[in-house]
Structures are given as structure tokens and as C-alpha cells.
Amino acid sequence: MSDPLSNIMVDAKRLYQEGHHQEAFAKYLEVAKQGDLAAQAFVGQMYLVGEGTDQNDEEALKWYTAAATRDYPPAQCGLGFFYYHKKNDVSKAVEWYRKAAERGHVVALWRLGRIYKKGIGVPADREKAYAYFEQAAKMGHIFSMRESAVFLIKGYRGWSKVITGFRLLTKCIFDGARITWKSGDDERLRN
């Protein structure tokens, strides 16, 4: 016997992928109200961008927070995005990105790398930036591979690593093409 919530989630995902965002939103919301962390995070995202429902920052914050405070890394990363882009609160964004990054969330690692590379709201720190990019690159995140490769090509780890940088950049290009070919909706392609 299958779990009824799982069946609703499968239907919601199918509807979403088919472009029936309003119907998908209704199903995700139904499951989110019953405490499913993935549904709560996705409802937060849908409210954030106004997909399948009206755009509503307060509702986005509510649903992201519901899942993020229960240690769900995608929601923690979403909450970081919310604070960074909607509230211009970099310190809160970094706090949530770090929580997700500590649990190995590749997009959070990449975003922290970007923040430290550019010194946005924090002191620029190439060492931290490279460490975040490198960790996510090892997990196959394409944008982090590119950033790590550029660090190496520019001689950041010494001139002996420049060739390694070019190899990593080549791998990044081929892996990115392969992943895109198979599925454009892969976590390793998110930024």
C-alpha cells in the first residue's frame, strides 16, 4: 500500500513539469500543510516567484522558514536566497546558506563562494571562496567547477596548478553539456 502523501507529491511534480502550475501548487500546498519539508520548501519557492499562485513574500518566508528550521537544506538555501535578494540582508543570507552548506547543499556552497569572492556584505576572502567552490565542485556542481577552474588558471594555487585548472574547465564544459542533455533540471546546474 502506498503513502497517499507520496502519491500527491508525484502528481504535483508531474503537473508542475507539464506546466500546470496552479494545479501543482494546490497539491504541493496540501502536502505542505501536513508537514512535508520538500513540499513546504517548494511552496515557498512558488510563492517567491509567483508561480501557480500570486507572488507573496510573506507566504514565501513562512513556508521556507517552516522547513528550514527543521534542518531541510533546500529550504535553508531558499531562505538564504530570500534574505539576500528580497531583504538585502546579507548576514541573514550567509547564516542560512551556511546551515545548508554544512549539510552539503551544493547551491548553498556555490552561493557562499560567490559572496566571499566578491566581498558582498562580508570581507572578500579568496581562501573561503575557493574552499566553498572546491567543495561543491567535488560534488559535481558545474558552476563551482568553473569557478574553481578559473581560480587555478589564474594561478591562485601556484603556476603548477594552471594545467589542472584547464583540465577542470574542460571537464566542466563536457559534464555541463552531458547533464543538460539528460535533464536541464539537475541540482548540479543550479545557481
Domain-terminating residue out of 69, 103, 137: 103
Pair 181, 98 in one domain: no
Q: Are residues 84 and 145 in the same domain?
A: no
Residue 69 shares a structural domain with residue 159 = no
Alpha-carbon span 77 to 81, nearest angstrom = 6
Kindly state whether residues 181 and 117 are assigned to the same domain: yes
Q: Are residues 111 and 146 in the same domain?
A: yes
Domain endpoint, select from 65, 83, 103: 103
Same domain, 93 and 156: no
**Domain's final residue, options 103, 135, 150:** 103
Do 115 and 59 share a structural domain? no
- What separation, in Å, do the N-terminal and C-terminal C-alpha atoms of the chain show? 38
Cβ neighbors of 1 (< 8 A, separation 6 or more) are none
Task: Specify the number of domains making up the chain.
Answer: 2
Question: How far, in Å, are 15, 29, 44, 104 from residue 70 at the CA level?
Answer: 27, 18, 14, 16
Q: How far is CA 46 from CA 43, 50, 78, 148, 173, in A?
A: 5, 6, 11, 31, 30
Which residues have a Cβ under 8 Å from the Cβ of 130 and sit 6 or more positions away? 113, 148, 151, 156, 157
| CATH for 85 | 1.25.40.10
Is residue 165 located within the same domain as residue 77?
no
CB atoms within 10 A of CB 19: 9
Q: Among residues 34, 88, 40, which one has the least CA distance to residue 62?
A: 40
Based on the domain organization, do 135 and 58 belong to the same domain? no
Residues 94 and 2 in one domain: yes
Q: pTM to 2 decimals?
A: 0.84
What is the span of the domain harbouring residue 161? 106-191
Question: Would you write out the chain's pLDDT as a tens digit for each of its 191 residues?
Answer: 357 778 899 999 999 989 999 999 999 999 999 999 999 999 999 999 999 999 999 999 999 999 999 999 999 999 999 999 999 999 999 999 999 999 999 999 999 999 999 999 999 999 999 999 999 999 988 888 888 888 889 888 778 888 888 888 888 787 777 767 776 565 655 66
